[in-house]
Amino acid sequence: MVKVLETDVLVIGSGAAGLWSAIKVFDSGIDVMIITKGMLSRSGCSRLSGFHWGPYNPENISLADIDHLGTHIRLFNSKILRSILEYSPVVVRELERLGIYWRRRSDGKIAEHKPDIPYPLAWKAGETGQRVMDILYSETLRRGINFIEDTMATSLLLSNGRCVGATALNYMRGEFFVIKAKATILATGHPGVYRYSTQSRENTGDGIAMAYRCGAEIVNMEFQHWHHSDTQYPESARRLVHNVPSWSECFFGKEFLAKFKGIPEGTEVCTIVDKEGRDVMKELKKLAATVDTFHSPSVQQIIALLYGKRGGLFMRYNQAILKTGVLADSFYNYRPLTNFYHLEKELVPLGTTAHTHAGGVRINERCETTIPGLYAVGGVAGIYPTVLTCLWGGATAAKYAAEIVRKTPSPELDWSQVEAEKERVESFLRLKPSDGFTPLQIQRKIRDLMWDKMWIIKTVSEMKEALVELSRIEKELVPKMGLETTVKSGNFGWAHALEVINMITVCRLMIWASLTRKETRPPHIVKDYPRQDDENWLKIVVLKYKPDRPDEPEIKIEPLSDPAYLYLSSRGGH
């Protein structure tokens, strides 16, 4: 007999989006439960985040401000974007009441970014995510919200076309169980499926795969973001997040540099150089100006990437700034970095890392997916990926889920679905044959494949090869996938095996979407279609599960009903 827990709202995932959803549902007087892979608030990528609001004043961001984030932003629904921006000043006040520090000027307004200060919300660059997540964690505990850790949702349950909860595996107890809910909020984060990724290890695209398998529409899967200047060494799946050029221009504002005599305003903390020590940034900027295809401001990043996949670019730190000691105080990766590099003498070799993903489960401005009763928030949703988006998603989904819950009776379960999922999950608790593979070995093969064939500059032929190779992995390697032991409790390999299946699904969706969009629209870049084609491609790629062809989605190319580009073009955008 499978154990059934019951709640009004089930939240899956405990990053910023999941915790904020749960807090908001609880505050509206509704029963809520969180299940999370790994530990509450400590799993997922929110804790790793810079948590800054970009170069904007969080009390007053406009849609026009965010236009520079990449040309793909123009495809997003402007109702959603506007709603997110309207929420920014509201959540700023709320976070402040919870104890989060925003630097304010003498007139009481939030101190703006450049040139006055570094990021408005930052005690230390890059460590802010930890502090914000600590606060969300204690707010969750303070309310006594129910949560179950080390628990992976394995499928979403439907009854009469409505989402009525999820099945889950608690891999510490070795227990498969069901959580029945009137509304389910999916908050499982971005898919981290590349060899090098800024994502945490729990983020294997489970939410997207589960929603897809139960018939939800998936959008924007071709838009993968990248960090271009993390460190190449030490060799690690999660390179030291370095990304200095993006903050060197803005982090050390006037106020900071004024403290250090002899360092002129505008001094760069570091420059990108080639192996002879020549400053390539200037050259790249010049080159960028001549390439009309890449007219997005992210062009320098993209061209740097052309050099950077296999190395060849280096970071040189400004010696005068190093001597001030300001980096040691303000740059969270300074100490790990100096364990490996002598910054006064050495150049730091740079590498690229897959970062957040703009694709995911399709939502409307109420965070409803195309499956009634199922909401998607944060990185798992198919919208622009930021912390602000997560917090907006949490508050919005909570509001509308609470409304539904008040009108919805306790749902019935479809037991045939539960039994089928139990059988599927248990089928992965099997020993590895002598010529077989562990789940992590297969995960590594998938990550390597994505790195080699689905890197930032793509070609149609490599993408097609990637599809063929994924099918080979699925047909030849997965049947030989097994565990070192079939003990049920504490068997992480069991969860890893389920992740393999989700990763294959998500990678396929990324490839199909990328093959479908026949243009370049940064960060989606395809050599075969080097131009951005606004005439034909101000559209979104929508993917849907075909039960008779699980390896090939139904693909729709849809004009947007309320596109951000109309608003952006009206102000004479690029």
Instruction: Tell me which residues touch ligand FAD (CB under 6 A).
Output: 12-18, 35-38, 43-46, 48-52, 152-153, 187-189, 198-199, 202-203, 206, 241, 356, 378-379, 385-388, 390
284 vs 498, beta carbon nearer ligand FAD: 498
> Considering the complex, what minimum distance in angstroms separates the CB of residue 434 from ligand FAD?
30
Our CB check for ligand FAD shows the closer of 353 and 532 to be 353
Least distance CB 546 / ligand FAD (angstroms): 23
Could you tell me the smallest distance in angstroms from the CB atom of residue 275 to ligand FAD?
Answer: 27
Closest CA to 412 of 156, 154, 164: 164
Cα within 13 Å of Cα(268), Cβ side = 13
Query: Closest distance between ligand FAD and the C-beta of residue 353, in Å?
Result: 9
Q: In angstroms, what is the minimal distance from the CB of 320 to ligand FAD?
A: 27
For residue 271, give the nearest of 263, 256, 283 by alpha carbon.
283
Closer residue to ligand FAD (CB): 44 or 482? 44
Q: Is 70 helix (H, G, I), strand (E, B) or coil?
A: coil
Question: Is the Cβ of residue 54 or residue 553 nearer to ligand FAD in the bound state?
Answer: 54
Q: How far is the CB of 276 from ligand FAD (least distance, A)?
A: 31
Our CB check for ligand FAD shows the closer of 63 and 555 to be: 63
- Of 205 and 263, nearer to ligand FAD (C-beta) is 205
Burial class from Cβ neighbours inside 10 Å (0-12, 13-18, 19+) for residue 144 reads exposed
Residue recorded with tokens 């295809």: 293
Nearer to ligand FAD, 15 or 382 (CB): 15
Give the nearest distance from C-beta 319 to ligand FAD in angstroms.
27
- Judged by beta carbon, residue 241 or residue 280, the one nearer ligand FAD is 241
In whole angstroms, how close is the CB of 13 to ligand FAD at the nearest point? Answer: 3
Looking at the DSSP bridge assignments, the partners of residue 152 are: 169
- For ligand FAD, the nearest residue by Cβ is 15
Task: Find the radius of gyration of the CA atoms of the chain.
Answer: 23
Q: Which residue has the tokens 């029945």?
A: 180
Distance CA 11, CA 182 (A): 11
Residue with tokens 């999820």: 166
The H or E element that residue 167 is part of is strand 162-170
Least separation in angstroms between residue 118's CB and ligand FAD is 12
CA distance 461 to 415: 44
Nearest alpha-carbon partner for 64 in 520, 565, 522: 565
Backbone angles phi, psi at 242, to 5 degrees: -120, -65
Across 536-566, b (16+ Cβ under 10 Å) vs e yields: ebbbbbbbebeeeeeeebeeeeeebeebbbe
Nearest CB to ligand FAD, comparing residues 257 and 381: 381
How far, in Å, are 70, 236, 241, 276 from residue 351 at the CA level?
A: 21, 11, 10, 17
